[in-house]
Chains A and B, each alone.
Chain A
Amino acid sequence: MKSNKFTRIIRNILITVGALSSASLICYLLMNIVQTDTHVPQIFILAILITAAMTDGYIYGAISSVISMILANFAFTTPYFEINFSFAGYPLTFITFLAVSLFVSWLMATKKKKDRIELEAEREKLRSDLLSSVSHDFRTPLTSIIGYASALTEDIALTDETKSALALEIKDDAEWLLKVLENIISLTRLSGGDAKINKQSEAVEEIIGDALIKIRKKYPAVTFTSDIPDEIMMVPMDGLLIEQVLVNLADNSVSHGNKTSRVSFKVKERDGSACFSVEDDGDGIDEKLLPNLFEGSPLNSHGSDRSVKSNLGIGLSLCNSIVKAHGGTMKAENLPGGGARVMFTLPMK
């Protein structure tokens, strides 16, 4: 934090010195060409303007106008290289310089403040959107968990078969809640400003392999396959997050594809990037949703239908954030023969 402040000060000083010396240099060159000094104040005004606009606060602009005044007086107006306080426009020029600098600094400060307020408002909106979507997403399975659990405990006549079916529903809903929770945690970790991703050189086959084990455990009835290059492919990434992306995408394929029976993970190298794709043979993605599928307004994904649980919004915008944080891109399309394909790239360097 301290060193950050220090670098800002250095930057401000460099801008000030740079603008002033450029102005002096231009005045000096022009002086030798055109033999007049009427342009001097304008050029220094420009330097002050630039300084005031690009530095923080009022101080650099103000200093710059004082120095400009002295430089203009001393070096670039007759008599050259002599301070002459007696020439007529002196106080007026100085006041103009100072006024310009203060006004521009003020304008910039106001603009920065306004930008910050807007950004904060945007973040706040995102947060409240997320919160209301989360509370909606949580409420549905919680309602069923509470409902089933009370049916089990409140001595209603149920067959053993029904009882175990209810217990299974409770387990499913709880697991689904856990998945949403994990996604939300990762999402807030990523969107918390400085994205903390821990990039290491990982072998693609290991990430795919572990993702396969996890997703197969969850959906034993679906066939999951992998298609990756024979040679070793090392890609810098946060292995856990990319695994989470793969598992999320495969999970979506099964839970939103309705009749999905096969999902395959494919990886290829193209133009210095690793291209991952997750393909399924399900119903495909609604064409209306495709254009801004990842733009993550979790609100527009509300299906109250329990089989189409509305985690799609959070899950996909999380995947997109993770890929973006790695410097990659993500897109989705429907396959000509039916089914969907979601692709993302990760730079290999």
Chain B
Amino acid sequence: MEKKEKILIVEDDKRIRNYIETVLKAAGYDVLISKSGSDAMGLVTSHCPELVLLDLGLPDIDGLEVLKSIREWSHMPIVVVSARTDEGEKVSALDLGADDYITKPFGTSELLARIRTAIRHTRSSNPEMFRSGKFVTGELTIDYEKRRVYVAGRDVGLTQNEYKLVSLLGKYAGRVLTYDFIIKEIWGPNMNTDNRILRVNMANIRRKIEKKPAEPQYIYTEVGVGYRMEDGESVSDDQD
């Protein structure tokens, strides 16, 4: 068996920490524990874990500050654990560079799935995409060289902005991109954050690539947060 992957849990509540620790150890991960933000920053530099599971409500430092300071020097995957009621917090965490978030309370399978996805993504950002210049999920193909999007082999005829939007989501497939992030990437930093234009573009895209816009198979909405592209095909090597 290969070397165990190391995961740092940053969580001040003992019960939740125990729960996560039990689950992760059972799933074969090497687990590091930290009860506070300052502690966590030390462990991150000394142990370089494969992933950090970061609770945002810490006793000493704001979890978002911890996230910010890790992001200053490292791209290691960080999954944020947040309280259910605050959508704004999730958005800030994603905008500060968190790879994903998971809301309390969560089940075992959900937790493990998020962790696997986040680790896989940093190992190589879509190896298949690098090799072929294409992103494939289900019947959807994004051809980055030709700048075209196909569904079941048929060119769906996206406009330039629509293509930019889909290719951006494809590049970060499996991850939620916040509305602000998408708007800045596509319309530039000076665009005032008008969600309406993004909603309309997305609605048009869905009419071109999805069978039923209200039941999407490729691009999902996370209400109040952003959009997420279904993970790519290169996932197949992950079935264990």
Contact = CB atoms under 8 A, between A and B. Distances in A.
Interface of A: 174, 178, 182, 185, 200-203, 205-210, 212-213, 226, 228, 232, 234, 239-240, 243, 265
B223 A226 contact: no
B25 interface: no
Contacts of B154: none
Contacts of B214: 205, 208-209, 212, 226, 228, 265
16 contacts: A201-B196, A203-B199, A203-B200, A203-B202, A207-B223, A208-B214, A209-B220, A209-B221, A213-B220, A226-B212, A226-B214, A226-B215, A232-B203, A234-B199, A234-B200, A240-B87
Most buried by B among A185, A201, A243: A201
Interface string B191-221: 0000110011011101000001111100011
B220 A182 contact: no
A232 B222 CA distance: 18
A232 B223 contact: no
B223 A206 contact: yes
A208 B221 CA distance: 10
Contacts of A209: 213-216, 220-221
Interface in B153-173: none
A213 to B, nearest CB: 7
A203 B203 contact: yes
A42 to B, nearest CB: 59
B84 A182 contact: yes
A202 B199 contact: yes
A205 B195 contact: no
A226 B212 CA distance: 9
B223 A243 contact: yes
A232 B199 CA distance: 9
Contacts of B196: 201, 234
B85 interface: yes
Given A203-B199, A234-B199, 11 more contacts: A178-B105, A200-B195, A201-B195, A203-B203, A206-B223, A208-B214, A209-B215, A212-B215, A228-B214, A232-B203, A239-B224
Given A178-B105, A201-B195, A226-B214, A232 B220 contact: no
Contacts of B85: 182, 185
Contacts of A182: 84-85
Nearest to B213: A205
Contacts, number: 58
Contacts of B203: 203, 205-206, 232
Nearest to A233: B203
Which 4 A/B pairs are nearest by Cβ-Cβ distance?
Answer: A206-B221, A232-B203, A205-B214, A226-B214
A210 B223 contact: yes
Q: Is the interface of A mostly helix, strand, loop or mixed?
A: helix
A231 to B, nearest CB: 9
A240 B223 contact: yes
Nearest to A242: B223
A268 to B, nearest CB: 14
Contacts of A265: 214
Contacts of A174: 105
A174 B106 CA distance: 12
Contacts of B213: 205, 209, 228
A212 B217 CA distance: 12
B202 A206 contact: yes
Nearest to A228: B214
Contacts of A207: 221, 223
Nearest to B84: A182
Contacts of A205: 203, 206, 213-214
A262 to B, nearest CB: 15
Given A200-B195, A226-B212, A232 B224 contact: no
Nearest to B222: A210
Contacts of B87: 240
A323 B5 CA distance: 48
A213 B214 CA distance: 10
B172 to A, nearest CB: 19
Contacts of B215: 209, 212, 226
Contacts of B105: 174, 178
Nearest to B212: A226
Interface in B71-99: 84-85, 87
B101 to A, nearest CB: 15
A210 B221 contact: yes
A230 to B, nearest CB: 8
A232 B212 contact: no
Contacts of B200: 203, 232, 234
A210 B105 CA distance: 19
A232 B197 CA distance: 12
Nearest to A204: B214
A277 to B, nearest CB: 14
Nearest to B199: A203
Nearest to B179: A200
Contacts of B204: 232
Nearest to B200: A232
A209 B213 CA distance: 8
Contacts of A200: 195
B189 to A, nearest CB: 21
B226 to A, nearest CB: 11
A226 B210 CA distance: 14
